[in-house]
A and B are shown apart, each in its own frame.
Chain A
Amino acid sequence: MDQFKNHILELLREDSRRTPALIATMLGSEEEKVRQAIQELEDEHVLVKYSAVVNWDKVDDGNKVTALIEVQITPERGRGFDAIAERIYLYPEVKTVYLMSGGYDLLVEVEGKSLMEVAGFVSNKLSPIESVLSTKTHFILKKYKQDGVIFEDHEDDHRLVISP
């Protein structure tokens, strides 16, 4: 990928609401070129979604329970881990699936309304899949930082208003 598109991705990753005009100014380019590059990135499925990072702990009725589940599986002949990963990621309650190096194979992030709901997903949907050998469920207690954003209350700028 060219440097120009990389810069666009960086700027959108910082703030996906930035307009093509703003990005063009910041990169010393033209709006139309940025618009076209973004279109290409979307078409190529490099840019897949524009979303917000939410600190759900601060949402009163935003009851959400998130678990990270280590899953050990037997790869399928000819298709490796991909087929079984697909069977897992198609569940809407599954937010993330990574193939991992190390002591287990897939890391699955599951979101539910309650502990019971997530536990139910693991015992009723995930574990019964044939190739799944074992699961280890870790519930997230507190998110300190996500996607490069620290969730602790935003620190004020400590600088003086004016300095030489």
Chain B
Amino acid sequence: MSHLAIGPVLLPFLAGLVLLLGERWPLAWQRALGLAATAGLWPLALSLLAAVADRGYQVYALGDWPPPFGIVLVADRLSALMVTLTAILALFALLYASRGTDAAGRHFHSLFQLQLFGLNGAFLTGDLFNLFVFFEVLLIASYALLLYGGGAARTRAGLHYVVLNLVGSSLFLIAAGLLYGVTGTLNLADLAVRVAALAPEDTALVRAGGLLLLVVFALKGALLPLHFWLPAAYCSASAPVAALFAVMTKVGVYAIIRVYTLVFGAGAGTLAGLAEAWLWPLALGTLMMGAVGVLGSRNLRRVAAYLVVISVGTLLAGVGLGTAPGLAASLYYLLHTTLLTGGLFLLADVIGRQRGEAGDALDPGVPFPHPLPPGLLFFGAAVAAAGMPPLSGYLGKLLLLQAALAAGQARWLWPVVLGGGLLTLMALGRAGSTLFWRRAPGPVADAAPPDAVALAAAGALILTSPLLAVLAGPVIALAQATAAQLADPASYVAAVLGSRVRP
């Protein structure tokens, strides 16, 4: 049994604990350790990605208790992809945070590592209750990170965020209890087997449990009626935290893909396709709400927050198609949008610091002395976010439109995605011209040039968009292989439960 699958969970956990003990160390040491641990996730995540591609599922039975009795970690292509994405985003967010954000209080680096521990655990676990536990780990770290630095706006947004997520946790437990009460298992692979062989009189309870889970995941992922917490929370968090939160909504998306392709997938009899019927209209609605929100935003960070809402809508529309090409398009778009919105949050902070009093509000401000580097980055980010050629947003949307055409749903998806893109383009164009060109009378602000490392961190995340466009061939092949693996839940079940028979 290879120990590779537990690596991305253990490393941030241990680093977080050491940092907790070292709370009185000089900040430079904490930064070095935090950055080293986050950079250490890269080789782990990439080797996991390679191992999954070469040798298939990596099943890790904790304590060597055989599944379904013990708890397993399962790395498949989707998990490895999400872990890799998190590692990339986290390193640049932490790099940005190390330029001053982390000095606002204690424990920033420890909390950051524990957040990564929760994220990686949620992506790798093969057990429903363990998914709940890792959700709680990442949530409690995110509560503290959201409130990091203090202030009235953060407290107000934090209170809403915490209460909503506590209600979500209660619903998660009810759903897990319902599924356990009927099927007698919490292992996802075993659940898939039991749900497929369900007695007709039990389906109603399992359906209720499955749809309750959808509510929980939709809350984490900010799907239509449950997305109102997101803009306020993401706007009030400090920039690197907001950037890391770009992957938090994707945990909800990941959980939806995992549970509804595996447990309620094609083999689930009368319960097959439980979520898709709900996901499709809600995702399109989310997309529209997000586009309207972008247009109505009055500062750049709120624009970025609504771009996260749009991205969730677009992603889940691809999932809601219920076809492998739709899923592949979503996965490619997921890579693009997570890194890009993360970069945009960082860039908004860079620009806000340059403009002095006006901050990142979309009002004319006094001219600022170093507009060129952030301006060029903003232009690139806007082109990518609006889905204009030649960057990755365009390719992602094109794949999605093609998948919708093949699935016969083009008349719903095309107008919403293209109309949403147009509104995004208008909003970003207006934001850019207001921030960089419209001048209020007054002398040039005497802001220092933007911090080179902070600008590089934001730039690196935004430049992943041209990189994803250049490497589109291999990345799309990876997304298609991932979607193909998800379309075959039987292989997942065989990999997990088959490992019961050990040589």
A and B: partners?
A: no
Residues of A within 8 A of B (CB): none
Chain B residues packing against A (C-beta within 8 Å): none
